[in-house]
Structure formats: structure tokens, C-alpha cells
Amino acid sequence: MEHRIEESELIINKDGSVFHLHLKPGELADNIILVGDPGRVRTVASFFDHIELERSNREFISVTGTYKQTRFTVVATGIGTDNIDIVVNELDALVNVDFETRKVKQQLKSLNMVRIGTSGSLQHDLSVDSCLLSHKAIGFDGLLNFYENRNKVVDMEFEQHFKEAMQWNPLLTSPYVVDASPQLLKKLAQNEFLEGVTISAPGFYGPQGRVIRLPIQDKEINDKISNFRHKQHSITNYEMECSAIYGLCKLLGHNAATVCAIIANRKARTYSKDYKPVIKKLIKQVLDSLA
Ligand SMILES: O=P(O)(O)O[C@H]1O[C@H](CO)[C@@H](O)[C@H]1O
Ligand SMILES: O=c1cc[nH]c(=O)[nH]1
């Protein structure tokens, strides 16, 4: 007999919706746009030809609709990989767990998840208002390390080299490196986005090497990261969700990619004058690539 997932482990609300996202099975499209900023959900949905449903709980706002006859759901994740743990596990449960029997379905579904975010550049020539497709993600957050089989989905060689080169502080969680979905990279490549390796940090300030009043544990860390090379790869940018999306999607059998508008250049010390039009154009490009 297959395992029944207990009420305490997968919480289903009285109306049949999943605990945090408040979505019910069937309300989710196979193509999902993830955005950090709840306000960005409206911008994505403004491109839809038809809006089917809207749900909202805490920062988890979502809209399902159609764009050029393809069904999409846009979900706000809020900030951070701890939120991604909630969002990706609940999105997976909505399609791969039978909410009546509380058992994992025999036939598993694979979703497409594309994150559209904002990010800070770690390379001088990666300018603000450009858009970057993350071929790999490096998680400084440690989320994937809580799951069995993390070693089966990571780029172990990259990980080892990176830790050695950084002289990684053992007080920090061990970084993990995961690739984007090759199928989604192919679909998104038509836009000629810049390509790179993205670090997801568990904070915006110290964990991304920013000093306001508090000194950080390694003052050289951003220079070391910018100068690091592994094969053809250099590390291009910081944000806060991509690693966990890539890692959990790989473990669960979903496709994931991230494209970010670069809004700050940490090397050149510049900040975008107005990144909203860049995000708007980026949203249309991503929707067109998936429709
Ligand atoms: O613009 P979003 O998608 O939220 O992405 C970036 O912006 C937030 C920090 O300001 C973090 O979530 C980071 O990943
Ligand atoms: O520098 C930046 C800009 C946006 N988002 C981040 O996480 N970092």
C-alpha cells in the first residue's frame, strides 16, 4: 500500500486548497511564472488575454489565465529560499498528490517554472538594465542540503572548486550548485539574454557582501567571487531565490529557469534609474518564449 501523507505534513485548507498558496488542484497551469515581488503579479497578469482566477494569502498572490492560448499561472514567492521551499513543494503537491486519498499519484506531472526577478551584477561589464539568464545557480542558503539526494542533482566538481577557491568558512552553510533546465534554456535563448551563473544569498546585505553598519566575515568575498573561473564559467550576479528553485525542481522532476533584470552593479557601484520598463519587456519576452 502506498504511503498516505498525514494531515500535519501536507496541510489542506477546509476549502480544499493547499496551506499557503490557497490554490486547489486544477487551478494551476503547467507553465508557471514565479516572481519575488507580489506587485509584479499584476504586471504579468496584465499581459493575459483572459484571467481565470486570482488567489491571495500572505505574500503568496497568484493569478491563472491565458496568454496567446497557453495557460499560465503567475505566483509571487516573496523574498528568499525559505519561501521557495513552501512554493515549490506546494506547487508540486497540487499536481502530483491526490488531495482526496493523500497519496502520491502514479502518473507524475512535470511543470515549467520560470522565475522573473531582479538582481545585482558582480561583473563590471554586466551593466544595469540588462537581462541575464541563469544557466547555473549557487545556493549560499543551504536549503537543498536538508534533502536526501542533493548530491545526485548538483555539479559536484564546480562545488568543490568553488569552496576551495573561496576558502569557504565552515561556519557558513555549504554552497550547492545546480543547473537550469536545458529545455527551458533552449526556449528562452531566442531572446539573446546574457548568460551566467547566479548566486542565491540568504540575505540582501551581509550575505551579498553589503556593509551598512555591520562588518562582514570576509571583506574580500565579492572580489574573490568576481574573479573566480570554473571551466568557461564566471559568476555573474546575486539574487535570493534561484538556487532553491533549481534544486527542488531537479529533485521533483520539474523544469526551472531564471531570468533577472540587473538593477544594481556591485562592481561599478551603479543602480538602475528605472528598472520597471525593463521588467515589463522581460515579462513579455518570457511569456512569448513559453506560449
Ligand atoms: O525582484 P525579486 O524577484 O524579488 O528578486 C530580488 O529582489 C529581492 C531583494 O530585493 C529578492 O527577492 C531578490 O531575489
Ligand atoms: O543587488 C541585488 C539586487 C536585487 N536583488 C538582490 O538580491 N540583490
Q: What is the pLDDT of residue 2?
A: 79
The residue written with cell numbers 545557480 in the block is: 137
Per the structure block, which three cell numbers stand in for 236?
Answer: 555573474
pLDDT tens for 83-111 read: 999 999 999 999 999 999 999 999 999 99
**Domains delineated in the chain:** 31-290 (3.40.50.1580)
Query: How far does residue 59's CA lie from ligand 2's centre (Å)?
Result: 19
CA 81 – ligand 1 centroid, Å: 11
Band of residue 165 on the pLDDT scale cut at 50, 70, 90: very high
Ligand 1 in reach of 35 Cβ (< 6 A): yes
pTM: 0.98
Rounded to 10 degrees, the C-alpha dihedral 180/182/183/187 comes to 80
In this prediction, residue 1 has a pLDDT band, given cuts at 50, 70 and 90, of low
Model confidence pLDDT, tens digit, residues 201-247: 999 999 999 999 999 999 999 999 999 999 999 999 999 999 999 99
239 touches ligand 1 (CB under 6 Å): yes
Report whether 223 contacts 164 (CB < 8 A).
Answer: no
Q: Ligand 2 test: best mutation among 123, 130, 208, 260, most atoms within 8 Å of CB?
A: 208
Instruction: Tell which residue, 208, 215, 213, has the closest CA to residue 265.
Output: 208
ipTM above 0.95, yes or no: yes
Q: What is the spatial distance between Cα 87 and Cα 89, in angstroms, rounded to a whole number?
A: 6
Q: How far apart are CA 202 and CA 181, in angstroms?
A: 23
**140 CB under 6 A from ligand 2?**
no
State the residue for C-alpha cell 518570457: 286
Q: What is the pLDDT of residues 36-78, one digit of tens each?
A: 999 999 999 999 999 999 999 999 999 999 999 999 999 999 9
Cβ pair 264, 123 in contact under 8 A: no
Assign 207 to helix, strand or coil.
helix
